[in-house]
């Protein structure tokens, strides 16, 4: 009489164990998906190599595979469950220090509140350099169209400023350009130079730790930002030149308006 009852108990135990294992596996899959390195819309890259391909193509695919592997290894703050997830808020603070909004707001405020013509001229060119950086980065991203490796949907800034393409890293270009700008125009002590260079390095590193970009995105961004300052130096705008340009534009507008009124009176 006890044999059927024991069989029923054993069957219940097996069923409960199966339900528990299925629930735990689904929970693991849910956690893994929330901390996935690739975004759901990202396209997987094919690194298969055929010996019939040209040597340049084989080398390029090999380098891209190394880039992907190294970027995955460095993304230790991609989410709270990552190996270094505990320092994620600090890394995100460093990331925000390289965002374009605080730099533009600070440059514009200093330009309007500047106490000297030289200070206003420096801030004017810094604001123009930031706008130039936004334009050039957007053009390159649109041309290359490389998908981002990850998107952290729990971040407020990532939700508001969703980037579809990752090459190059805008934070890296901005960090390199602003660092070179500050070193050339404002910083004159060795301690401040070390601080500026350290900030630029940390901002670039934060993009890798948070798995926002690939290594090549950050490397090319640093080189691009370094070269952008050379362009800013060549196109340096002085306040006298700006005032002359504004007065010239104003004079042309007034002449066109006066000419239109004169022609209207002549027709009547």
The catalytic residues are 171, 213
Q: SS3 helix, strand, coil % of the chain, rounded to 5?
A: 75, 0, 25
With both helix axes pointing from N to C terminus, report the angle between 117-144 and 239-267 in degrees, rounded to the nearest 10: 80
Q: How far apart are the first and last CA of the chain?
A: 119
Q: How many CB atoms sit inside 10 A of residue 199's CB?
A: 17
CB under 8 Å to 65, separation ≥6 — which residues? Answer: 47
CA distance 194 to 192: 5
Name the H helices within 55-99. 55-74, 88-97
With CA atoms as reference, report the closest residue to 58 among 45, 68, 44, 47: 47
Return d(Cα 168, Cα 41) in angstroms, integer.
Answer: 19
Cβ-contact 257, 161 below 8 angstroms: no
Instruction: State the Cα–Cα distance between residues 39 and 35, nearest whole angstrom.
Output: 9
Which residues make beta-bridge pairs with 147?
Answer: 165
């Amino acid at each position: 009489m006890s044999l059927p009852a024991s069989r029923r108990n054993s069957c219940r135990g097996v069923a409960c164990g199966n339900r528990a294992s299925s629930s735990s596996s689904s929970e693991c899959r849910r956690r893994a998906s929330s901390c996935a390195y690739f975004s759901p819309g990202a396209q997987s890259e094919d690194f298969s190599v055929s010996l019939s391909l040209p040597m340049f193509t084989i080398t390029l695919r090999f380098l891209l595979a190394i880039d992907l592997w190294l970027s995955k290894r460095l993304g230790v703050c991609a989410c709270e469950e990552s190996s270094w997830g505990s320092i994620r808020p600090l890394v995100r603070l460093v990331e925000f220090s390289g965002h374009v909004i605080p730099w533009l707001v600070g440059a514009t405020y200093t330009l309007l509140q500047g106490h000297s013509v030289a200070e206003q001229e420096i801030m004017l060119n810094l604001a123009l350099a930031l706008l130039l950086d936004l334009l050039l980065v957007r053009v390159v991203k649109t041309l290359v169209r490389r998908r981002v490796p990850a998107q952290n949907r729990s971040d407020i800034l990532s939700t508001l400023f969703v980037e579809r393409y990752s090459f190059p890293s805008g934070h890296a270009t901005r960090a390199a350009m602003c660092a070179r700008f500050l070193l050339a125009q404002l910083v004159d002590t060795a301690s401040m130079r070390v601080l500026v260079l350290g900030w630029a390095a940390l901002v670039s590193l934060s993009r890798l730790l948070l798995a926002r970009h690939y290594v090549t995105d950050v490397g090319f961004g640093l080189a691009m930002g370094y070269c952008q300052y050379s362009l800013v130096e060549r196109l340096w705008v002085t306040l006298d030149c700006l005032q002359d340009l504004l007065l010239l534009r104003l004079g042309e507008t007034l002449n066109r308006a006066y000419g239109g009124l004169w022609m209207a009176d002549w027709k009547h």
